[in-house]
Amino acid sequence: MRLYTCTPIAFKGDHTFFSRESGLLSRSLADIGVESRAVMPQPSHPEDEEGLIRADYTDLAKALWWKKQGVDAVVLFAWAVPKYTPIARAIKDSGAKLMLYIDSAGIWNPWSDGYSWFRNTWNFNTRTYGRAIGMPRFLLAALRQSIPSLFAVPRLEQLSLADVIGSGSPGALRRTMNYAHTFGFSDITDRIVLSPPPIPEHFSYDGEEKRKRVVCVARWRKQDWAQKNPGILLSSLAAFLAHRTDYEALVVGRGATELRHAKFYPAALDNLPVRFLDAIPNSELPSLYRQSRISFCSSHHESFHLASFEAACCGCSIVALDSDDVPALQWLAETDGTLAEKESAHSFAEALAREAAAWDTGAREANKTATRWTSELWASRAARRVVHQLRMDF
């Protein structure tokens, strides 16, 4: 059986690509005995690793090219973006089975989600671009999304080509089903399945004693601040650590050490046990998670937030915002975390305190958390799930 993955963007085919989503799924399929390679458009990069096929973008939109590959099925990471529909149609016309992977936040718009969509889109644009530019961008997005024929119908026409539609979380699955029902594509809803992104299997828990530590892993560069909320994160940590003097915190990721010089950096942190580490090798992250109790995500919006699920596979519980803008973390927190009611330092600090108390009382058990999420997300299990969802034998 030959089952390929396809990403229609010319990323570097390096270790980073093969450690997540499309690249990792392809490698994991190969590991369980399925003939699999990852497909991306040209150009090639010096960092490209084995297991990658590069093709002219125009060839990817031709059924004959896919027939020549001899594939039985393709998992296309097209995120329901209409410009990639010709590739989806070519795969389908080649006779191969097609699984379309949508964004892990699901698909939504003003008609299907009303206030939630308006709030998310307003906040995203004004936070990212400022009010002067963000307001007209918001109005343009609202107008565009309010006319079904401009965007909603083309997205659903793409999804209607699929044998299977993969959704990253239960919340995203429900959101996408609602979207399909709203615009008269109810016939595709029985093809939408839960298929979260794979997690590398070195994210695991070996029984190591956990410290009373909060770990915060993200990109902390200035261009990421609107999404990642580092000001609220640091103020939350300051309030929490002043109350729970037995805890420490670790902020990790590209740009982390620069946060000490940001205007929003709270001076109170200078006297509290907080460390900042810039980007570290992915191979070192599991050790940090295994030694920590709580993974804290302060983001305003996330599609999946792999870092939180990697931490859960290492036995961490999570604290995040209770919002439809982070649907995957709502799923994780159902069993292994606490959600902040409001996007404020006070609310996040309270959530951290409640989560620390859950560890104190034995309501959190690292082994159970790790077992629950590795059984769901480890790459080999994700690969077997995709084969099963495509109803293929190997």
Reply yes or no on whether the pLDDT at 303 is more than 90: no
Q: Which of 100-109, 253-262, 315-324, 337-346 has the lowest mean pLDDT?
A: 100-109
**Residue 107 reports pLDDT greater than 90:** no
Angstrom distance (rounded) from CA 185 to CA 323: 27
- Between 111 and 185, the more confident residue is 185
Residues 268 and 308 in one domain: yes
Task: Tell me the CATH number at 345.
Answer: 3.40.50.2000
Q: What are the distances in angstroms from CA 153 to CA 86, 147, 179, 325?
A: 15, 9, 10, 23
Q: Is the pLDDT score of 319 beyond 90?
A: yes
Q: Look up the pTM and report it.
A: 0.93
- 327-363 confidence digits (pLDDT tens): 999 999 999 999 999 999 999 999 999 999 999 999 9
**Chain centre to alpha carbon of residue 234:** 23
- Residues near 326 by Cβ (< 8 Å), separated by ≥ 6? 297, 299, 301, 302, 305, 320
> What angle (nearest 5°) sits at the alpha carbon of residue 69, between those of residues 63 and 70?
95
Distance between CA atoms of 253 and 179, rounded to whole angstroms?
A: 35
Q: Are residues 259 and 324 in the same domain?
A: yes
Asked if 330 contacts 339 with a C-beta cutoff of 8 angstroms, the reply is yes
- 246: CB partners within 8 A, 6+ apart: 212
C-alpha to C-alpha distance for 279 and 259, rounded to whole angstroms: 13
Tokens of 41: 């458009």
Work out the mean pLDDT of the chain and round it to a whole number.
Answer: 95
Q: What is the pLDDT of residue 194?
A: 96
Look up residue 186 and give its two tokens.
């109810």
Judgement on whether residues 164 and 182 belong to the same structural domain of the protein: yes
**Residue 95 and residue 84 in one domain:** yes
Whether 204 is covered by a domain: the verdict is no
Residues 15 and 84 in one domain: yes
Domain assignment present for 205: no
Give the domain extent around 316: 213-376
| Domain membership flag for residue 206 | no
Q: What is the Cα–Cα distance from 14 to 391, expressed in whole angstroms?
A: 30
Residues paired with 39 in a beta bridge:
6, 53
Count of domains forming the chain = 3
- Furthest C-alpha separation in the chain: 65
Q: Please, which residues have CB within 8 angstroms of residue 15's CB and are 6 or more apart in sequence?
A: 47, 49
The SS3 assignment for 373 reads: helix
What integer pLDDT is reported at residue 394 of this predicted model? 60
User: Same structural domain for residues 369 and 342?
Assistant: yes
156 assigned to some structural domain? yes
Residue 91 lies in a domain: yes
Q: Are residues 159 and 305 in the same domain?
A: no
pLDDT digits (tens, 9 = 90+) for 11-37: 999 999 999 999 999 999 999 999 999
pLDDT, one tens digit per residue, over 34-79 is 999 999 999 999 999 999 999 999 999 999 999 999 999 999 999 9
Whether 362 and 260 share a structural domain: yes
Are 243 and 291 contained in the same domain?
yes
Q: How far apart are CA 165 and CA 79, in angstroms?
A: 10
**pLDDT at position 206:** 95
For residue 203, being part of any structural domain is answered with no
In a shared domain, residues 25 and 40: yes
| Residue 38 sits in the same domain as residue 178 | yes
Please, are residues 8 and 77 in contact by the beta-carbon 8 Å criterion?
A: yes
For Cα atoms 234, 237, 241, give the angle at the middle one, nearest 5 degrees: 145
Between 8 and 151, residue with greater pLDDT? 8
The reply to whether 208 falls in a domain is no
Structure confidence by residue, pLDDT tens digits, 114-146: 888 888 888 888 888 889 999 999 999 888 888
Q: What is the pLDDT of residue 358?
A: 98
Give per-residue pLDDT as tens, 225-239.
989 999 999 999 999
Specify the pLDDT at position 147.
84
Residues 389, 75: Cα–Cα separation, whole Å: 11
Encode 4-41 in three state secondary structure.
Answer: EEECCCCCCCCCCHHHCHHHHHHHHHHHCCCECCEEEE
In a domain, 22, yes or no: yes
174 and 237 together in one domain: no
